[in-house]
Structure 1
Amino acid sequence: MLQVFLGPTGIGKTARATSLARSTGAPVVVLDRIQCHPEIATASGRPLAAEVCGTTRIYLDERSVGAGELSAEEGLRRFMDTVGGLELGARDLVIVEGGSVSLCRLWHGSGLFPFERQELQVLGIDDPHRHRGQVLRRVRAMVSPGHNGESIIDEFSRVWRHHAGQRDFIASVCGFDAIVEWCQQAEIPPGDVCSSALSPDQQNQLVIDITNAHCSYARAQSDFFTGMRQEIRPRGRRMPAQRASATSEVNV
Structure 2
Amino acid sequence: MSKKIYQEHETDSGIITTIEKPMERRLFLKYAGLTAAFTGLILTGCDSDDDDATPPPANNEVVDPANNPAATDAVNLGTGDVGILNYAYALEQLEAAFYTQVVASFYSGASTAEQQILTDIRDHEIAHRNFFKQAITAAGATPIPDLKVNFTSINFTDRGSVLATAKAFEDLGVAAYNGAGKLLQNKAYLLIAGKIVSVEARHAAVIRDLISNGSFADSTAVDANGLDKAMMPLEVITAADKYITTNINLNNLPK
Pair in the same fold by TM > 0.5:
no
**Could you tell me the TM-score, scaled by structure 2's length?**
0.28
The TM-score, its normalising length taken from structure 1, stands at 0.28
Higher strand share goes to which structure?
Answer: 1
Whose helix fraction is larger, Structure 1's or Structure 2's?
1
Higher RCO structure, 1 or 2 (CA under 8 Å, sep 6+): 1
